[in-house]
């Protein structure tokens, strides 16, 4: 999956406008990256990528790129 | 001396028997003298449950309750093998957290099939006169979450709320003629694998915060199993159509925020 597709998925998950997210965006700077978004991320990783994601792993993510790496 | 909770000679179906609360219900009922037909999907874990139970005329079936259409023939074969039952305990359930925006029909259907429709179908078939004794008692494991919910619990809360209502309808319609009873138990947080899964997803702080509002602390599976045994026994002979909260004081605590 290419980076554009990954960014689009994350934008849809957080209900952000297209093109809002950049790989280098700090997660702490995204208002929409809240507890609901994090739970949605767990579901998306499981459904779309077959990957288990724990709360501890989520805490280790600092930038959008960290999430994209995990999506690989 | 008498044991008022004695279930000797009684026979019950228990679903979700391979783990958590279902496993403990099998053990507790066997200790009270009941014969148990244990149902679960996972063979190795179901056998482990059997090894923990007191001796009795127990048997077990591997069955995936999401196959709701097959429950009737499975119940019929259990009855032809074992004779009439005295009720059932529905412990099978999934607690998958899912945001509203992602709770598609396919997900909602899956959680309703396992948590709700499988109980209704099992009770529908088992409550027939040819399949159960008079005064049979049915208990579905609901949840305090049917009244006290949280984000990402649309599917879970809906399925448990459906159980809470279904036992009332069944209690009215099937109680009058054959004195059958239908109730739910509604636990708060129990120390089971489902609890561990939720802690893993939502984090230890969230779990600690929720547990801090459980007046009596986290519930052990046996503490809910004991209430279930009471609801099966003649000690509760006039309790029917009720939702019994075994929630450690969670839902009455005004310190909840």
Distance CA A48, CA A3 (A): 15
**Tokens 């929630």 -> residue:** B247
Per DSSP, the three-state class of B92 is: coil
B106: contact with A, CB 8 A cutoff: no
Determine the Cα–Cα distance for residues B216 and B219; give it in Å rounded to an integer: 8
In chain B, the residue whose alpha carbon lies closest to the alpha carbon of A42 is B201
Residue ranges of the domains in chain B? 11-244
Structural contact between residues B184 and B140, judged by C-beta atoms closer than 8 angstroms: yes
CB-nearest partner of B99 from A40, A54, A59: A40
Rounded to the nearest integer, the mean pLDDT of chain B is: 95
With CB atoms and an 8 Å threshold, state whether B201 touches A59.
no
Q: What percent of chain B has pLDDT over 90?
A: 84
Low-confidence ranges of chain A (pLDDT < 70): none
Nearest chain A Cα distance for residue B198, angstroms: 10
Provide the percentage of residues in chain B whose pLDDT is more than 70: 100
Check CB contact under 8 Å for B203 and A42: no
Q: Would an 8 Å CB–CB cutoff place B102 in contact with chain A?
A: yes
Helix (H) or strand (E) holding B37: strand B35-40
**Cα–Cα distance, B123 to A62 (Å, whole number):** 50
Over the range B113-135, which residues count as b (16 or more CB within 10 Å of their CB) and which as e?
bbbbbbbbbbbebbbeeebbbee
Task: Select the residue of A36, A39, A59 nearest B201 (Cβ to Cβ).
Answer: A39
Domains along chain A?
A: 3-71 (1.10.1200.10)
Structure tokens at B44: 């190795």
Interacting residues of B117 by C-beta distance below 8 A, sequence separation 6+: B68
With an 8 Å Cβ cutoff, are B200 and A55 in contact? yes
CB–CB contacts below 8 A, A to B: 31
3-class DSSP state of B255? coil
> What is the ipTM for the molecules in this complex?
0.73
Name the pLDDT band for B257 (thresholds 50, 70, 90): low
Confidence grade of residue B256 (pLDDT, cut at 50, 70, 90)? confident
What pLDDT, in 10s, does the model give residues A16-25? 999 999 999 9
Please count the CA atoms within 13 angstroms of the CA of B210 that sit on its side-chain side: 20
Residue A56: closest C-alpha in chain B: B203
CB contact (8 A) between residue A40 and residue B102? yes
pLDDT digits (tens, 9 = 90+) for B213-240: 999 999 999 999 999 999 999 999 999 9
Write out pLDDT tens, residues B52-84: 999 999 999 999 999 999 999 999 999 999 999
Q: Considering the domain B11-244 in this protein, what is its CATH number?
A: 3.40.50.720
């Amino acid at each position: 999956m290419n980076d554009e597709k990954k960014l689009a998925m994350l934008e849809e998950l957080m209900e952000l406008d297209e093109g809002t997210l950049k790989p280098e965006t700090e997660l702490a700077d995204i208002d929409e990256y809240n507890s609901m978004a994090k739970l949605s991320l767990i579901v998306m990783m499981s459904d779309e990528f077959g990957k288990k994601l724990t709360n501890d792993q989520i805490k280790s993510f600092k930038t959008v790129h960290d999430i994209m790496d995990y999506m690989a | 001396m008498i044991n008022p909770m004695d279930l000797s000679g009684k026979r019950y179906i228990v679903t979700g028997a391979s783990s958590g609360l279902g496993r403990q219900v099998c053990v507790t009922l066997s200790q009270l003298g009941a014969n148990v037909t244990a149902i679960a999907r996972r063979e190795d874990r179901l056998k482990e449950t059997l090894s923990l139970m007191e001796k009795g005329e127990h048997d077990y079936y591997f069955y995936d309750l999401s196959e709701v259409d097959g429950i009737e023939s499975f119940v019929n074969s259990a009855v032809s093998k074992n004779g009439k039952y005295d009720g059932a305990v529905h412990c099978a359930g999934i607690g998958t957290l899912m945001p509203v925006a992602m709770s598609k029909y396919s997900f909602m259907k899956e959680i309703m099939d396992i948590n709700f429709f499988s109980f209704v179908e099992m009770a529908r078939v088992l409550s027939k006169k040819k399949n159960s004794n008079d005064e049979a008692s049915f208990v579905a494991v609901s949840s305090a979450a049917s009244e006290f919910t949280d984000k990402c619990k649309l599917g879970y809360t809906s399925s448990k709320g459906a159980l809470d209502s279904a036992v009332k309808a069944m209690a009215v319609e099937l109680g009058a003629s054959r004195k059958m009873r239908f109730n739910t138990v509604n636990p708060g947080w129990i120390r089971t694998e489902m609890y561990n899964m939720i802690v893993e997803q939502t984090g230890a702080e969230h779990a600690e915060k929720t547990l801090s509002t459980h007046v009596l602390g986290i519930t052990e599976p046996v503490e809910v199993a004991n209430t279930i045994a009471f609801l099966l026994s003649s000690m509760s002979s006039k309790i029917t159509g009720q939702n019994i909260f075994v929630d450690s004081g969670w839902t009455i605590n005004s310190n909840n925020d």
